[in-house]
Amino acid sequence: MSTDLTPEQIQHIMQGVAIPPQPQVLVDVQMEQFSPHCSLDSIARLISQDVGLSGSILKTVNSRFFKHTNKITSITQAVNLLGVNSVVNLVNAQSIRGVLSDDDIIALGRFWDSAMDVAMTSATVAKHIGFPFPDEAYTLGLFHNCAIPLLMGRFKKYPQVQAEAYARPDRDITATENSLINTNHAVVGYYVAKSWNLPRYLCEAIHEHHKVDKTFADERADGKKKTLLAILKMAEHICQSHKTLGKQDRDYEWERIGQNILIYTGLTQYDFETITAIVGELGLGNSDYCLLE
Query: How wide is the angle at C-alpha 208 spanned by C-alphas 203 and 285, nearest 5°?
Result: 90
The CATH architecture of the domain made up of 102-281 is Orthogonal Bundle (1.10)
Tell whether pTM > 0.85: no
What are 112-134's pLDDT values in tens digits?
888 889 999 999 999 999 999 99
> How does residue 13 score in pLDDT terms, banded at 50, 70 and 90?
very low
Rg (Cα) of the chain, in Å, rounded?
Answer: 19
| Domain parsing of the chain, residue ranges | 7-97, 102-281
DSSP string, 212-258: HHHHHH-TTS-HHHHHHHHHHHHHHHHTTHHHHTT--SS-HHHHHHH
Evaluate whether 242 touches 253 at the Cβ level (below 8 Å).
yes
How many angstroms separate the Cα of 259 from the Cα of each of 101, 215, 225, 254, 291?
Answer: 43, 15, 18, 8, 11
The 10s digit of each residue's pLDDT in 158-210 is 999 999 999 999 899 999 999 999 899 999 889 888 877 788 999 999 999 99
For 36-90, write each residue's pLDDT tens digit. 787 888 888 888 888 888 887 888 888 766 666 778 888 888 888 888 777 877 7
The Cα angle at residue 113 between residues 246 and 130, in degrees rounded to 5? 95
